[in-house]
Amino acid sequence: MNELALIVFTPLLAGVLAWLLNVRGLREAIGVIGAAVPLAYAAMLHEKAAQGLSFALNLGVFNMTFALSQLSWFFLGIAALVGFSAVLGLVSTARGSYEWLFALMSLTGAFGVFLANDLMTFFIFWEIMTFASFMMVLRYNRQASLKYFVLSIVGAYAMLIAIAFIYVKVGSFDFSAVRSAFIGDAYARMFGSATFSSGELMALFGLFLVAFGVKAGLFPLHVWAPDAYSETNQSYTAMFSGVLSKTGIYGFIMMYILMGTRLMVEFGMFRSAPKFGYIIAFLGGLTIIVGGLLAALQEDIRKLFAYSSISQVGYILVGIGVGTALSMQAALFHALSHALFKGLFFLIVATIVYRTGKTTFADMGGLAEKMPFTFAMAFVAILSLAGIPPLVGFASKWVLFEAVISQNLPILGGMVFFGSAIGFVYLIRFTYAVWFGQRPTDLDDTKDAPLPLAVAMAILALFNVVLGIAPGLVARELNRIFGRDIIGGNLFVLDLGFGKYNALAILTYLIMGIAIAGLIYLLGARARKVPVTDTYQSGNPVTMEYNLTIRRNFFLPLKEALSGWLRISFDRTYRDIGAWVEDFGEVMRNYIYNGNVQSYAWYLLLILLILAIWGV
Amino acid sequence: MIETALKVLFILLYATFVGFMFMGIIRIVTARIHRRVGPPIYQPILDTIKLLSKESNITHGFIYDFGILYAVGATILAVMFIPLGSIGVLRAYGDLILITFLLEIPMLGIMFAAMSSGNPWAGIGAQRALLTLLAIQVPLGFAVIALAEYYGTFSTYEIVMAQQISGWSIAHFPLLLAAIAYDLVLQAMFGKEPFDIMIAPGEISLGPMVEFGGKHMGLLNIQHAIALFAETLFFSNIFLGGGVVTAFSSPVLNTIAGLLVLLVKQIAVLLVATFMAAIFPRFTIDQAAKFYWKWPTIIAALGAILASL
Q: Give one DSSP letter per residue of A61-114, joined into a string.
A: SSEEEEEE-HHHHHHHHHHHHHHHHHHHHHHHH--SHHHHHHHHHHHHHHHHHH
Q: Which residues in chain A have their CB less than 8 angstroms from residue B60's CB?
A: 529-530, 532
Closest CB to A561 among B65, B142, B289: B289
Cβ–Cβ of B101/A388 closer than 8 Å? yes
Contact of A484 with chain B, judged by CB distance below 8 Å, is answered with no
Closest CA to A332 of A506, A211, A476: A476
Please give the average per-residue pLDDT across B74-92, as a whole number. 84
Tell me how far apart the alpha carbons of residues A529 and B61 are, in angstroms, rounded to a whole number: 7
CB A557 within 8 Å of CB B286 = yes
Query: Which chain B residues in 2-31 lie under 8 Å from chain A, judged by CB atoms?
Result: 8, 12
Tell me how far apart the alpha carbons of residues A264 and A271 are, in angstroms, rounded to a whole number: 12
In this structure, which amino acid lies at residue A516? I
Query: Which chain B residues in 197-236 lie under 8 Å from chain A, judged by CB atoms?
Result: 205, 210-211, 214-216, 218-219, 222
Q: Please report which confidence band the pLDDT of residue A523 belongs to, taking 50, 70 and 90 as the band edges.
A: confident
Contacts of B209 (CB under 8 A, 6+ apart): B114, B125, B199, B217, B220
Q: Strand runs (DSSP E) across A199-337, as ranges?
A: 269-270, 273-274
pLDDT tens readout for residues B36-59? 998 999 999 999 999 888 888 888
CB A298 within 8 Å of CB A304 = yes
Cβ–Cβ of A525/B56 closer than 8 Å? yes
Is residue A499 over pLDDT 90? no
pLDDT at A581: 92
Count of C-beta atoms within a 10 Å radius of residue A518: 18
> What is the end-to-end Cα distance of chain B in Å, rounded?
44
Q: Please report which confidence band the pLDDT of residue A604 belongs to, taking 50, 70 and 90 as the band edges.
A: very high
Contact of B179 with chain A, judged by CB distance below 8 Å, is answered with no
CB A170 within 8 Å of CB A249 = no
Least confident of A281-290, A312-321, B88-97, B179-188: B88-97
pLDDT at A20: 87
pLDDT tens readout for residues B163-219? 888 888 888 888 899 999 999 999 888 888 888 888 877 778 777 888 888 888 999
pLDDT at B297: 92
Is residue A1 over pLDDT 60? no
Please give the average per-residue pLDDT across A363-374, as a whole number. 86
Count of C-beta atoms within a 10 Å radius of residue A495: 17
Share of chain A above pLDDT 90, in %: 19
Closest CA to A76 of A51, A44, A100, A32: A44
Q: Please report which confidence band the pLDDT of residue A580 belongs to, taking 50, 70 and 90 as the band edges.
A: very high
- ipTM, two decimals: 0.90
pLDDT at B39: 92
Is residue A606 over pLDDT 90? yes
How much is the mean pLDDT over chain B? 87
Contact of A594 with chain B, judged by CB distance below 8 Å, is answered with no
Cβ–Cβ of A406/B148 closer than 8 Å? yes
CB A308 within 8 Å of CB A344 = no
CB B113 within 8 Å of CB B67 = yes
Cβ–Cβ of B134/A431 closer than 8 Å? no
State whether the Cα torsion B97-B102-B104-B105 is positive or negative. positive
A513 compared with B244, residue with greater pLDDT: A513
Query: Which chain A residues in 405-424 lie under 8 Å from chain B, judged by CB atoms?
Result: 405-406, 408-411, 413-414, 416-418, 420-422, 424
Q: Please report which confidence band the pLDDT of residue A215 belongs to, taking 50, 70 and 90 as the band edges.
A: confident
Is residue A552 over pLDDT 80? yes
Is residue A225 over pLDDT 80? yes
**Cis bond upstream, residue A450 (ω within 30):** no
Is residue A50 over pLDDT 80? no
In the 8-state DSSP scheme, what is residue A443? Answer: G
Distance from CA of B221 to the nearest CA of A (A): 12
Q: Please report which confidence band the pLDDT of residue B23 belongs to, taking 50, 70 and 90 as the band edges.
A: very high
List Cα–Cα distances, A575 to A147, A148, A224, B281, in angstroms.
9, 13, 11, 46
Contact of A430 with chain B, judged by CB distance below 8 Å, is answered with no
Is residue B24 over pLDDT 90? yes
Closest CA to A338 of A430, A467, A234, A453: A467
Cβ–Cβ of B116/A560 closer than 8 Å? no
Please give the average per-residue pLDDT across A454-472, as a whole number. 90
pLDDT at B70: 92
pLDDT tens readout for residues A252-279? 998 888 888 888 888 888 877 888 888 8
How much is the mean pLDDT over chain A? 87
Distance from CA of B185 to the nearest CA of A (A): 14
Q: Which residues in chain B have their CB less than 8 angstroms from residue A501's CB?
A: 93, 95, 98
Q: Strand runs (DSSP E) across A271-311, as ranges?
A: 273-274
Q: Please report which confidence band the pLDDT of residue B62 belongs to, taking 50, 70 and 90 as the band edges.
A: confident
pLDDT tens readout for residues A146-187? 888 988 988 999 999 999 988 888 888 888 888 888 888 888
Q: Please report which confidence band the pLDDT of residue A188 belongs to, taking 50, 70 and 90 as the band edges.
A: confident
List Cα–Cα distances, A156 to A208, A209, A226, A280, A393, in angstroms.
9, 11, 20, 19, 31
Q: Please report which confidence band the pLDDT of residue A109 belongs to, taking 50, 70 and 90 as the band edges.
A: very high
Closest CB to B74 among A496, A513, A532: A513
Cβ–Cβ of B65/A386 closer than 8 Å? no
Q: Which residues in chain B have their CB less than 8 angstroms from residue A521's CB?
A: 65, 68-69, 215, 219
Please give the average per-residue pLDDT across A284-294, as a whole number. 91
Contacts of A506 (CB under 8 A, 6+ apart): A389, A390, B77
Contact of A538 with chain B, judged by CB distance below 8 Å, is answered with yes
Interface probe, candidates B48, B215, B305, chain A, greatest A C-beta count within 10 A: B215
Closest CB to A557 among B74, B102, B286: B286
Q: Give one DSSP letter per residue of A119-144, joined into a string.
A: HHHHHHHHHHHHHHHHHHHHTT-HHH
Query: Which chain A residues in 261-320 lie under 8 Å from chain B, judged by CB atoms?
Result: 271
Half-sphere exposure of B263 toward its Cβ, with a 13 Å CA cutoff? Answer: 14
Closest CB to B133 among A369, A425, A499: A425
Closest CA to B287 of B128, B126, B141: B128
Question: What angle do the packed helices A70-93 and A97-115 form, to 10 degrees?
Answer: 170
pLDDT at B274: 92
Tell me how far apart the alpha carbons of residues B233 and B266 are, in angstroms, rounded to a whole number: 6
